[in-house]
Structure 1
Amino acid sequence: MTSLTGRAALVTGAGIGIGQAIAIELARQGARVAVHYGGSAAGAGETVARIEALGRDGFTIQGDLRVVADCERVVDEAVERFGRLDILVNNAGVTRAQSLAETTEALFDEMFDLNVKGYFFCARQAARALERSGNGVIINISSVHGRLGSPNHVAYAATKGAVTGLTQTLAIELAPRGIRVNAIGPGVIEVPRYFGWPGYTREAMGSRIPLDRVGLPPDIATVAAFLASDDAGYLTGQVIYVDGGLTTRMGSL
């Protein structure tokens, strides 16, 4: 893979799980990484410690990405610290297992504010710096829930469907400015929140996946590093499903 040495990245929601793994993998490939977190200061600190152990520069930024002013500030702090921004990974998000009847307006708004609005305004604020980079990349973390039907995830699935539209439209609009935009759709990934839902066990979910196992955060991180690299220089507007083959099967998740 082409090295990311000299490049600067911002990864949102990088204090835990997929975001943490992506931040560490980008650093492993040579990037300096701004580690955003919403509430997990300890997790973000651990991410930075692991980045620094690789000999790379990393620092934390706290912000509530449901708030436009915080989206703008977080991006600006990353640009100010590194003097540039080459890679934006929109990963911070929230999900709840709620049926249609159980989904309140407040919960619906919370998910759209973070999962969609936060992505949009981070991308908007980062676009100028990414254009100056001459090699700018935006990677949006979506989900197989945006493609497959899934009971009790109606609002979350709607946000991830919106991420697909956002990714494809940004790819068209930003291509003339030298910015590539792609998304990753993780499948069933080994993160703490996933297996707290009724019926969602490693065994039950793994048995539905052609590769016969659930995924791990590094499975997503290595794809993110590829998309950020020059090796993916002709790839834009795509959603890459990293799911062990789950989306090749018909039916719901």
Structure 2
Amino acid sequence: MSANSALAGKKALVTGVDHGGIGQGIALELARQGAAVVCHYPYSDEGAAAAVAQIQAAGGTAAAVQGDFTQSADVCAQVVDAAASCLGGLNVLVNNAGLTETRPLADITPAHFEKLFAINVRSQIFCAQRALACMQEDGGGSVINLASVHTHAGVPDYSVYAATKGAVAALTRHLAVELAPQKVRVNAIAPGLIEVPRYFADIPDYDPTIFEATVPWGRLGAPSDIAHVAAFLASDDADFVTGQTIYVDGGTVAYMSFGAHLDGQDWSSGD
């Protein structure tokens, strides 16, 4: 499936591959650039199966593996082992699996807290732990974690979700330092407003222009915007890049929100 061979020889596991989502976009882009890819899914295999079919139809190597990360850390090891078995090793891990649930502080429960941390943080730690042995056998590798713009600024009702993504950013920095002697690079991507069905489908009377007006670049992001950065971080071109959280958000976190009240700027207008 490769339009180029930048990722030839890369063996990648992408977790959380949903239909039309960021994970599916990343899996397809890695394969397009020559990587062999295993797509993990937690429940429905719709997105993973579609990605695998598309990759295989184009002559690439791909497989799907199921695992519910809310169950235990052992599931993470099982998913990584299955991926490594399918590919004959593993040198790229994309920790994309994540859950966005919002609740005001008064409504947060231990179950809500534990579920978000299990998927958004625990899975990243224990998938990376298991993948490390594979990467050491291969002489190194790349771990790519998915963080969020919520690590940078606050929004009501996102406190637990933001806490998980803040943990991801901290985890990324620390593992980058710890694993550098083993030639394993660790970076994170922090997406901004990315238009994916899973997120926007639940918004009543969804109007993309309302969200576009909040983004300095004047549009919402697409999974491909994240996928291109992930492919770079997986490649040898990023050999000197580690410990970074890269914001892919059209300038969202760079903008001081009170500025809109001062100049009346509608970022989607292009004026």
TM range (shorter): over 0.9
Alignment partner, residue 135 of structure 1: 140
Confirm whether residue 172 of structure 1 aligns to residue 177 of structure 2. yes
The sequence identity of aligned pairs, in percent, is 51
For residues 207-226 of structure 1, what are the alpha-carbon distances to aligned partners after superposition, in whole Å with 9 as ceiling and x for unaligned? Answer: 01111111000000000000
Give the TM-score normalised by the residue count of structure 2: 0.89
* 3-state secondary structure, aligned to 1:208: coil
* Separation of aligned partners in 2, 1:244 and 1:2: 28
CA shift at 1:95, angstroms? 1.1
CA shift at 1:81, angstroms? 1.5
Count of aligned residue pairs for this structure pair: 252
Which of 3, 7, 26 does residue 4 from structure 1 map onto? 7
Q: Runs of 5+ in structure 1 lacking a partner?
A: none
CA shift at 1:201, angstroms? 4.0
Which amino acid is 1:30 matched to?
G
Between 118-127 and 35-44, report the one with greater CA deviation: 35-44
For residues 135-164 of structure 1, what are the alpha-carbon distances to aligned partners after superposition, in whole Å with 9 as ceiling and x for unaligned? Answer: 300000111011111111110000000000
Between 137-146 and 47-56, report the one with greater CA deviation: 47-56
Superposed counterparts of 1:25-64, under 5 Å: 25-64=29-68
1:97, 1:197 within 8 Å by CA — same for their partners in 2? no
Which amino acid is 1:61 matched to?
V
CA shift at 1:51, angstroms? 1.2
Which of 124, 131, 138 does residue 129 from structure 2 map onto? 124
Choose 1 or 2 for highest CA Rg: 2
* Separation of aligned partners in 1, 2:181 and 2:22: 30
* Separation of aligned partners in 2, 1:64 and 1:85: 20
Q: Runs of 5+ in structure 2 lacking a partner?
A: 259-271
CA shift at 1:32, angstroms? 0.4
CA shift at 1:194, angstroms? 2.6
* Separation of aligned partners in 2, 1:181 and 1:12: 16
RMSD: 1.6
Alignment partner, residue 77 of structure 2: 72
Confirm whether residue 223 of structure 1 aligns to residue 229 of structure 2. yes
